[in-house]
Every structure is written in structure tokens, then in C-alpha cells.
Amino acid sequence: MTKSILKVLAGEALDRPPVWLMRQAGRYLPEYRQVRSTAKNFIDFCLTPDKATEVTLQPIRRFGFDGSILFADILLIPMTLGRNVWFVAGEGPKLDPLAADDIASLEIGDVEGILGPVGQTVANLSVALPDKTTLIGFAGSPWTVATYMIEGGGSKDRWNSRRLYWEHPAAMERLLDLIADATIRYLVMQANAGAEVLKLFDSWAEGLPPPMFEDVVIRPTRRIVEGLRAAGVTCPIIGFPKGAGPNYVAYAEQTGVTALALDHGLNTQWALDNLPKNMPLQGQLDPAVLRAGGDALDREIERIISAFRGRPHIFNLGHGITPDVPIDHVEQLVRKVRGE
């Protein structure tokens, strides 16, 4: 029996789309918060296979999603380049800011050793998940990871990163290539451990002029896809250049990804009219309407399912689920998507 998500990623349009949610393992679940409280810090949480396996399985037990995405974080890769990463409660990720002069000395370390616990988590999940559930591995895309490294954390406009690109293009190119090459090794490990789909998150792809988008988003993403294929990884790859707007077209045509995840701000009809007709799409419910619930949630779910009917589509959010979402709203979403 072929799993529903794999059917869609192979180009099949189903009567009702399969469903999973970005960040479906997370703080909105009390069982997640309980396990999280037993870890000394967030990095330790991600790199403890028993804990990471448990929280990945929790939403599958509770909701029966069609896909299960590995619990980890996109900012594990900087550790393989010798950079410090830590998380501050209420503030998010922190890194030692990276300047252009620092980039020449960066080297890729023992990816498989440093991130080996993630591979073990994937191996655990490949055995523990129900037969119908697709196991999804992931990594952050190079531009997004690079912005965190340069800014020292999250940033509203990625000013230092954009400026470094224009002032020191060779340094930026080297940084993106290093991240891409470390990511290839990381994702090969995940695929070898049992991941059936891989996803690349470019959370900060918004607001880039087309030439820069080509250099910092498309080129390193293509490098990863080609590197994975050269290493013998054949599983589908979903790309998510959040906020890319019209740049989604070039991303779809030039990166080599199998499918596109669409953010909730992208015009649905524009996507249907302009993206490749045979490309599977994923998305694009606004996380705020999931928080709102009620009739508004039902209407938006039906609008999205109706819009994508007749083409390969995986139902998902346009970004991650928020910690304040009531559990009964998620239950409502699953029932509605499945037509129950």
C-alpha cells in the first residue's frame, strides 16, 4: 500500500488531500511540554533520541496525521561549522554573530558525529510510526541558516546578511556553499536512516530582489538537491521558500525540488495559474485561522481544498502551528480535511 503523501508527491491527485502540520510536535500539546521539561536545554532536547522520538510520535497518536516530521531544529547545522548555538526562553535562538572576515576560517566538521543523534531519532521513528504515516526529514535552507549565523539570531529585515551579500559576495557564496555541503551530508544521513521525504525550509526568502534570490536561495538549494541525487538519495524533496511571492516560479523551475510548500500570503489562484501544472503543492492555511477555529476555519479549509482539487495537493499550514492553538481546533481541522 502506497502512503497517501507519497502518492501525492508522485503526482497523484486524491479525492481528499493528506494532511500534516508544520511544527505539529510542539508547545500546544501538554504531553510535549512535559517531555520538554525534562531536558536541560533545547539543543539537548533535539539531540536526545528518546525524547525527540517521543515528541515526534505524540501528534500522530493524538490526531493520526498522514505525515510525521522529525522533531529537530534548523539551527543544528551551524554547530557542524564550529559555531555556538543556544536558545533563550522567550527570545529564541542565539548565535555568536558571524562577520565577513570570519567566513574564510570556517570548515565543515564531523556532521555525522555531531548530528548522529538526529539520525538515530529518524531510525527510531522509521520503526515506531504506523505503516500509513510518511516520515519526513528536514533541514534549513542555506540562506535562512546563514542569516541566523550572521545576525546572531532572528532578525526582522536581515539587514546585516543582505549587506554582507552586496559588500562581500565571495564570502557570502563560500558561507552558503559550506552550509549546503554540510546539509547534504545531514540529509543523506536522514534518508539512510529511514526518512521517506525531505523538506528544505527557507523561512527568510521574503523581500529579496530577483538577482539576489537567484544567488542566495535558488543556487544553494539546487546545490543541495543535486548533491543529494548524486549521493543516491531518491526520495521526494519539498521546498519551502516562505514569502518568495513571484520568485516561487523561478524556484520551482530551477532548484530541482519535487514539490512546493506555499505560504498563506501567496495568492492561491496566482499559484495555480503560474506554478508548473504537474508539480505537487502543499499548504496553505493561515495559522491564525487555525487559532480562531469555528466557522472561519471550516470555510478556509473548504476554500483551499476546492481550489486545489484536481491537482496533487497536501493540506498543511502556510507556516508553523502556534503554541496557543487549542487542541480541539486541530481535531476540527483533521475532521474537516478528511470530510468526516
Give catalytic residues, as residue numbers.
Answer: 23, 27, 36, 73, 148
Largest Cα separation within the chain, whole Å, is 58
Query: In a 10 Å sphere around its CB, with 0-12 CB exposed, 13-18 middle and 19+ buried, how is residue 305 labelled?
Result: middle
CA distance 176 to 172: 6
Cell 508553523, residue? Answer: 320
Distance in angstroms (rounded) separating the CA atoms of residues 92 and 85:
11
| CA–CA separation, 193 and 117 (whole Å) | 11
Cα–Cα distance, 159 to 166 (Å, whole number): 11
Distance between CA atoms of 290 and 53, rounded to whole angstroms? 26
Neighbours of 303 (CB within 10 A): 12
φ, ψ (nearest 5 deg) of residue 153: 155, -160
Q: Please, where are the H alpha helices in the chain?
A: 4-9, 30-36, 42-46, 49-63, 77-80, 100-103, 111-114, 116-128, 142-151, 159-167, 169-193, 210-213, 219-230, 247-254, 268-274, 287-292, 294-308, 327-338
Strand order in the sheet with 259-261: 67-69, 134-140, 197-202, 237-241, 259-261, 281-282, 313-314
Contact yes or no for 289/296 (Cβ under 8 A): yes
Q: Give the helix/strand (H/E) hosting 241.
A: strand 237-241
Cell numbers given for 61: 497518536
Are 76 and 52 a contacting pair, CB within 8 Å?
A: no
